[in-house]
Amino acid sequence: MFSKTERADTVDRPPSPDAEKGAPVAVLSGARLSYPGIGDGGPEANGAEVDVLRGIDMEIGAGEIVAATGPSGSGKSSLIAVIGGLERPTGGEVKVLDIDLTTAGEAARTDLRRRNIGIVFQSFHLVPAMSALQNASLPLMLAGNFEAESEAAKMLARVGLSHRLNHRPSALSGGEQQRVAIARAFAAEPRLVLADEPTGNLDQATGDEVVGVMFDLVRETGASMLLVTHDESLAARCDRTIAIDNGKVRDTVGS
């Protein structure tokens, strides 16, 4: 399924992060996200806005794997939500695959997500009533792909789950559930994968295996990835690490 002609230039590419590989997939410049205060602003209410992202400058290059680390509450999941088009930035500029997410409407953000972004969450976020195959097929079905199930089945085989196609999430181990989520995230061949602590609910060995699968898929498909993690050994496997602190990029380690 990775033999599409438009991907032919990326499949055999060496994994060096240094080579110039074309335009970055995401560019953030002074990106801000504020949530409205809770309540109606009356004397009992906490009406002040919460500034969660306070001017983020960063890029994710084509084919690059970037780790994001930082303390709890520093804004890592909010950063994923903004880059993934789940939350609209309230200031600055966020461009993902040349779509300006500061001005894009809901429909344009949904379209970007469906076509070009895969998201993997800490707690898997699978649909409980659906089998592994149905879960992994979902993005392809939403994209109107008539081969959705057979392509999803190939993807599940790729992540080592061909013997679990008809199992529901409750009948799968945590590591298996995350593999289904990874198959789902990669099924539509996204250009950018966003992973928010994908190993957070897994033991070290299972987490390492699951991340190994993600790294392999990123390299094979030429996708880029932003990987939020608390695990320093995992961050060290990425091309570059950005440290988020209190809604800003504190520093960058790596090339």
Q: Using CA atoms, how far apart are residues 132 and 204, in angstroms rounded to an integer? A: 23
> In this complex, which beta carbon is closest to ligand ATP, that of residue 63 or of residue 75?
75
Q: Which does 73 bind (CB under 5 to 8 A by kind): Mg ion, ligand ATP, none?
A: ligand ATP
Backbone angles phi, psi at 243, to 5 degrees: -100, 120
Site map (CB under 6 A) of ligand ATP, residues 41-70, x = contact: ---------x-x-----------------x
- Residues 67-96, interacting with ligand ATP (CB under 6 A): 70, 72-78
Q: How many CA atoms lie within 13 A of 183 on its CB side?
A: 32
Cβ(154)–Cβ(162) under 8 Å? no
Q: Which helix (H) or strand (E) holds 218?
A: helix 204-221
Q: Which does 181 bind (CB under 5 to 8 A by kind): ligand ATP, Mg ion, none?
A: none
Q: Which residue has the tokens 């909010």?
A: 78
> In this complex, which beta carbon is closest to Mg ion, that of residue 161 or of residue 228?
228
Q: Which stretch binds Mg ion (CB under 5 A): 4-12, 70-78, 170-178, 184-192?
A: 70-78
> In this complex, which beta carbon is closest to ligand ATP, that of residue 74 or of residue 177?
74
Report the nearest approach of ligand ATP to the CB of residue 37 (Å).
9
- Residue from 35, 98, 216, 232 touching ligand ATP (CB under 6 A): that is 35
Q: Which stretch binds Mg ion (CB under 5 A): 53-61, 68-76, 92-100, 168-176?
A: 68-76
DSSP letter string, 58-85 = EEE-TT-EEEEE--TTSSHHHHHHHHTT
Report the nearest approach of ligand ATP to the CB of residue 226 (Å).
12
> In this complex, which beta carbon is closest to Mg ion, that of residue 68 or of residue 159?
68
Q: How many CA atoms lie within 13 A of 80 on its CB side?
A: 24
Q: Which does 143 bind (CB under 5 to 8 A by kind): ligand ATP, Mg ion, none?
A: none
Task: Label residue 237 exposed, middle or buried (CB < 10 Å: 0-12, 13-18, 19+).
Answer: middle
> In this complex, which beta carbon is closest to ligand ATP, that of residue 221 or of residue 241?
241
Cβ(176)–Cβ(166) under 8 Å? no
> In this complex, which beta carbon is closest to ligand ATP, that of residue 136 or of residue 193?
193
Q: What is the Cα 66 distance to its own chain's centre?
A: 11
Cβ(181)–Cβ(121) under 8 Å? yes
Which structure tokens are listed for 154? 């190939």
77 is a site residue for Mg ion (CB under 5 A): yes
Report the nearest approach of ligand ATP to the CB of residue 52 (Å).
4
Calculate Rg over the CA atoms of the chain: 18
Instruction: Give the interface with Mg ion as residue ranges (CB under 5 A).
Output: 76-77
Interaction site with ligand ATP (CB under 6 A): 35, 50, 52, 70, 72-78
